[in-house]
């Protein structure tokens, strides 16, 4: 992959570069992608979080989580805490896609005075993704903490939380605003680098398809868009998964700061490594990587389909 290889930017994006309507369409399409992401991915995510946050020996693997969840809590337990991400992830993904598309247009306008071709370099795609991920972190961090605390509740003990708002109320009461943003550092690392790789992978594959087959973006078959979305999902988790493990551990730690096992992000990294070595940073990786293809295939397909419908 050559750094300066030109990428095709469709004429419609150029003409709408300063249009608020274009931004609204990007956000609306991103929301569609986010809703699809939650509905497809929630069972995988619940399994992943249980594996990441449970004490060693609680589960022997992903299948053991699934078996115990169905036996003791029923199939609907896979959708615990879904309301929060259904609303929140829709907003998060809309931010990701909206900012990414805006950054593409900014880079495109900067490139035009020095080049006759409308092109973005691969580093520009990566930076656009990083910006979208960093911006999104401040919304998705609290949302994910609420979801994770609800997902890790079991029916074997009295429930600590009655719902999403109760999670926020208890965290705010015991730990303040800082508690709501618990795990923000690993979230920023995961989202920043992860979204950079995510969008870079997808745009590279889409642009290669257009170049090799002489197609417009809107002419690429849906099944190929799904494949490219799945590949983008793999690229995130193969490069950013340890940050997600640290984030989950910090967000399922005690709410009261005086009772926490992990004092900081670095302390969580150190203690995770001391307890389980490198493998400790990949607990729950199997359901995550299995989730990556269908979830992100649906996310990008829903986004592209919405964009085609809206024009």
- Look up residue 259 and give its two tokens: 């009772």
Q: Look-up: residue for tokens 């992401």? A: 37
Q: What percent of the chain has pLDDT over 70?
A: 89
Residue-number span of the structural domain to which 96 is assigned: 11-310
Number of domains the chain contains: 1
Report whether pLDDT(266) > 70: yes
Asked, for residue 222, whether it belongs to a domain, the answer is: yes
CATH code of the domain containing 76? 1.50.40.10
Find the mean pLDDT for residues 121-136: 95
216-220: long-range contacts at Cβ-Cβ below 8 A with a sequence spacing of 24 or more?
Answer: 216/10, 217/8, 217/10, 217/304, 218/308
Task: Tell me, yes or no, whether 29 lies in a domain.
Answer: yes
Contact 62, 47 (CB under 8 A): yes
Does residue 202 surpass a pLDDT of 80? yes
Query: For 3-12, 42-51, 168-177, 256-265, which range has the lowest pLDDT when averaged over its residues?
Result: 3-12
3 within a domain of the structure (yes/no): no
Of the listed ranges 82-86, 239-243, 245-249, the least confidently predicted one is: 82-86
On whether residue 6 sits in a domain, the answer given is no
Within a domain: residue 173? yes
Q: Is residue 4 part of a domain?
A: no
What is the DSSP-derived secondary structure letter of residue 249?
H
With a cut of 60, say whether residue 14 has pLDDT above it: no
Distance CA 270, CA 97 (A): 34
Rounded to two decimals, the pTM is 0.80
- For residue 52, being part of any structural domain is answered with yes
Assess if residue 218 is contained within a domain: yes
> For residue 253, is pLDDT > 50?
yes
Task: pLDDT band for 155, please (50, 70, 90 cuts).
Answer: low
Residue 41 has pLDDT above 90, yes or no: no
Average pLDDT, the chain: 86
């Amino acid at each position: 992959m050559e750094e300066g290889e030109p990428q095709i930017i469709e004429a419609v994006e150029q003409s709408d570069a300063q249009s608020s309507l274009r931004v609204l369409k990007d956000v609306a399409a991103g929301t569609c992608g986010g809703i699809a992401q939650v509905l497809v991915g929630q069972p995988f995510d619940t399994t992943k979080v249980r594996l990441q946050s449970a004490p060693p020996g609680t589960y022997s693997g992903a299948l053991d989580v699934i078996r115990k969840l169905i036996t003791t809590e029923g199939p609907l337990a896979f959708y615990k805490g879904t309301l929060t991400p259904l609303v929140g992830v829709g907003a998060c993904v809309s931010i990701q896609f909206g900012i990414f598309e805006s950054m593409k247009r900014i880079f495109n306008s900067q490139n035009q005075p020095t080049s006759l071709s409308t092109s973005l370099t691969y580093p520009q795609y990566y930076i656009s993704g990083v910006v979208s991920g960093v911006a999104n972190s401040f919304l998705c961090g609290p949302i994910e903490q609420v979801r994770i605390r609800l997902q890790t509740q079991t029916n074997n003990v009295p429930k600590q939380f009655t719902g999403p708002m109760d999670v926020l109320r208890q965290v705010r009461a015991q730990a303040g605003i800082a508690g709501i943003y618990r795990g923000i550092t690993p979230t920023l690392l995961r989202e920043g680098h992860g979204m950079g790789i995510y969008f870079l992978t997808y745009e590279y594959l889409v642009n290669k398809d257009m170049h090799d087959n002489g197609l417009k973006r809107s002419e690429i078959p849906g099944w190929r868009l799904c494949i490219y979305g799945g590949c983008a999902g793999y690229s995130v988790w193969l490069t950013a998964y340890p940050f997600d493990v640290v984030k989950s551990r910090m967000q399922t730690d005690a709410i009261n700061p005086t009772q926490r096992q992990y004092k900081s992000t670095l302390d969580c990294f150190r203690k995770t490594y001391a307890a389980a070595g490198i493998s400790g940073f990949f607990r729950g990786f199997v359901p995550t990587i299995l989730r990556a293809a269908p979830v992100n295939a649906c996310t990008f397909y829903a986004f592209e389909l919405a964009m085609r419908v809206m024009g």
